[in-house]
A and B are shown apart, each in its own frame.
Chain A
């Protein structure tokens, strides 16, 4: 039924540049050929951007690799027809296909796609020499042009760099330069920004948009992020478990999704700004991906945190540094000021989010609170005891008051323990309970996180990522703690599952009056779940306050940058241009003799504070910085 919509879509007069018909790609398994992409059809017109969106296992990357014929022919089989500018790629001899790759169709990948043992210059000139027949001298000149085209500063010097000497964002720029080397008519970008920080992601997306206009090429943009889709795509194709289930103009797909899965997917995306005008956290209204009907009754917002309660967690002037050694005799070369003079408190029943990009010190702070990192200064109090440092209360006391949920649900559960034993272990160690009582408690915990108690005898590998994270939450609840630290606890999950787990966390908070310290890089998720928010940058809190105040009136330049960079699933933002910057995320590495300036916070609104330190402003926004 969705095939008809595809045809009506393409019946327009414009001749498609790429046309895919009934593409089926199968992988060889022990039980024969297993199709991972089934009868997928779509078209791309010249200079158009098509987003292929889907969660893990949807077959979106395999579709791209099938077009490029980059799958191993021994273990994979491609059926159907792929026509590029009228030529059928599927039947092309290998040599012809090779000529098409790189010069007609180019591709960029997620990350680390540059060869680590060759310089940037070598890898760029290689394409120019071999595909465009340039001499080495011409190729070098052209390579500099290409690097300038992708806005790499000091392009000429970069030619001698090895990939590991560049940041992730710069590497991705080089990969794009390489893809543009032969002026392709179609660029396939396979999750090109997934491994990058939000502000860098925004830069790369912007760059691809600008280059598309400049080079007049078509783009297939493969992503899992609906926000990115809304920002880049003219048309959108939604994939689910190997099927292309819905395709159409991006505005139409977002405004009037037809398929239940698309509806469910759109319902589970946090939209930055959707909480404006409210104070309390608000669970998602989820939709069943099979029926398209709402999953449960509308949920009320969480109660606000008590305003005048004694704080449960109190972090005062926490600082944490790591030495960087190098040079002669392993001298101290500098220090990473991972956490610098950080103070905040969390009330009972309250969620405080620490938000920031990589290197901001948010996870280090969380780990220090859990006693997993030593600390160099400051005090962490949990109720009436010290939670970390030399005079901290014993672990047997602390572990019954504070618990942690980790990022990777595949690494945080011991693969050799049954789920029941995983949940029972803390009970056995700390509580004097009979075997029967333990069994009952384990069952109750599983029920509390929405799992069937009969699953207790299974092993972790028999669960999906979302289910595993539920098990990890159940384990954190086993000792009935007052504070739960969630370190990027939903970041590794697929969109639709992420929303469910966020709802679960809020349900648990409502039922148990828990406090959360929620660590995340995702502004939209933070907006959903927090009572209060602290933005971290270069090891310091640059802005802290009630969520509503911070999100509606972001005051620190970095907070504003972060909010502007966050992709929003709003198709109106597609023609928004942010301007081309090539800025790196700064690192908090300082010289050994660096003395941190004293913290000065300004209260800009009730309980809403902003750091007033000139060196904690992103480079491009600093007074006197160019542009």
Chain B
């Protein structure tokens, strides 16, 4: 019996690689990625614990003091005694608290819409890849059709029809984004399902559902995670844009975009803080997510760019 001893290419007993550990190790090799992840964790935590971290509930009109309106950063609340770290808006709302609460809406809308779109899109894309034939051509026609129109235009159309509201914005974002996931999932799924390990499983009599769930899906996940990360950032940015244009979330639930929009008119009179601080928060959030996404792309699928 030949033993692999004589194989000139046999690897010397390599220590067993732990996939998760080696993934984390290579992730943290990049300072940019590490920085982005830390930043993102801090942002998510502050959004989640916004009520604990803020001085007032910015939506509770009873807590607002109109006399404190348009105060620059650093002024102290006459009625409650806490400092307005980032100033106040025209109604005397503490910008710092409003930003924390706005972050919740922005992040929430972004994450919910991107995950929903990911689940719908990836499912359809993988089905298209595995089944092929007419199912595939129907799904992919729809995807092509959708992707030939820019996101903002579709979102504008949907919101023009449905009107403002957080739920409507999420719906619009899902409708805009599912196609990206479907296209990616189908592309990756096609590459993977043509690989011989899928055929080997078929030949071994492994049931189709098991092949899809245990073999195909896990191998398609990494690029989908990368896309999902980037899409969360895009969703947040798009939501902010729509709200800025006045067709997004309603005034009662202001996201960062709406805060920026509200402060915009005061910018020319020198009251920069109402617009600039929510803008900076939005910026930092999006950049953090994109830094993480960029790093994930390098670590998870080093051969694919852009």
Contacts and interface: CB of A to CB of B under 8 A. Distances in A.
A467 B13 CA distance: 13
B203 interface: yes
B202 A426 contact: no
A412 B203 CA distance: 12
Given A430-B205, A504-B2, A289 B200 contact: no
Given A295-B6, A372-B199, A416 B204 contact: no
Contacts of A465: 9
B3 interface: yes
Interface string B179-211: 000000000000000011101111111110010
B2 A425 contact: no
B252 interface: no
Contacts of A500: 2, 6-7
A247 B135 CA distance: 60
A222 interface: no
B219 A416 contact: yes
B218 interface: yes
A412 B197 CA distance: 4
B142 interface: no
B10 A464 contact: yes
A507 interface: yes
Contact of A414 (B9, B10, B14, B197): B197
B196 A407 contact: yes
**Interface range on chain A (Cβ under 8 Å from partner):** 35 or more
A240 B8 contact: yes
A55 B206 CA distance: 36
Give the most central of B14, B17, B201, B219: most A CB within 10 Å.
B201
A497 B9 contact: yes
B203 A450 contact: no
Interface in A365-421: 370-372, 395-396, 398-400, 403-404, 406-408, 411-417
Interface string A258-291: 0001001000000000000000000000101100
B204 A425 contact: yes
Nearest to A430: B205
Interface in A158-195: none
Contacts, number: 127
A426 B210 CA distance: 12
A289 B6 contact: yes
B78 interface: no
Give the most central of A295, A398, A411, A496: most B CB within 10 Å.
A411
B3 A411 contact: no
Contacts of B60: none
Contacts of A370: 203
Given A413-B197, A467-B4, A399 B205 contact: yes
B11 interface: yes
B239 to A, nearest CB: 35
A467 B204 contact: no
Interface string B32-49: 000000000000000000
B11 A286 contact: no
A55 B8 contact: yes
B215 interface: yes
A434 interface: no
A451 interface: yes
B259 to A, nearest CB: 44
A542 interface: no
A399 B203 contact: yes
A351 B197 CA distance: 25
A415 B219 contact: yes
Interface string B202-228: 111111001000010011000000000
A429 interface: yes
A479 B205 CA distance: 10
Interface string A450-464: 111000011101111
B1 interface: yes
**Interface range on chain B (Cβ under 8 Å from partner):** 20 to 34
A478 B203 CA distance: 12
B16 interface: yes
Given A411-B197, A412-B197, A399 B204 contact: yes
A31 interface: no
Contacts of A407: 196
Given A396-B205, A470-B4, A406 B200 contact: yes
Interface string A27-57: 0000000000000000000000000000111
Interface string B1-30: 111111111110010110100000000000
Contacts of A413: 197, 200
Given A406-B200, A412-B196, A497 B7 contact: yes
Nearest to B205: A399
Contacts of B8: 55, 240-241, 261, 289, 494, 496-497
A311 interface: no
A295 B2 CA distance: 8
Nearest to B215: A414
A459 B206 contact: no
Given A404-B200, A412-B200, A464-B9, A450 B4 contact: yes
Contacts of A450: 1-4
A338 interface: no
Contacts of B199: 372, 404, 406, 412
Contact of A372 (B11, B16, B202, B205): B202
Give the most central of B8, B215, B219: most A CB within 10 Å.
B8
Interface string A465-476: 111001010010
Given A411-B196, A429-B205, A464 B11 contact: yes
Nearest to B198: A414
Interface in A584-599: none
Contacts of A461: 17
Interface of B: 1-11, 14, 16-17, 19, 195-197, 199-207, 210, 215, 218-219
6 residue pairs, one from A and one from B, having the closest CB atoms:
A399-B205, A464-B9, A412-B196, A406-B196, A426-B204, A414-B197
Given A295-B6, A429-B207, A466-B10, 15 more contacts: A261-B8, A288-B5, A395-B202, A403-B204, A404-B200, A411-B197, A412-B195, A413-B197, A416-B19, A425-B204, A464-B11, A467-B11, A496-B6, A497-B7, A500-B6
25 contacts: A55-B8, A240-B8, A286-B6, A399-B203, A404-B200, A406-B196, A406-B200, A411-B195, A411-B197, A412-B200, A413-B200, A416-B19, A416-B215, A416-B218, A417-B215, A425-B201, A429-B205, A430-B205, A450-B1, A451-B4, A466-B10, A478-B204, A494-B8, A496-B6, A503-B2
Interface of A: 55-57, 240-241, 261, 264, 286, 288-289, 295-296, 370-372, 395-396, 398-400, 403-404, 406-408, 411-417, 425-426, 429-430, 450-452, 457-459, 461-467, 470, 472, 475, 478-479, 494, 496-497, 500, 503-504, 507
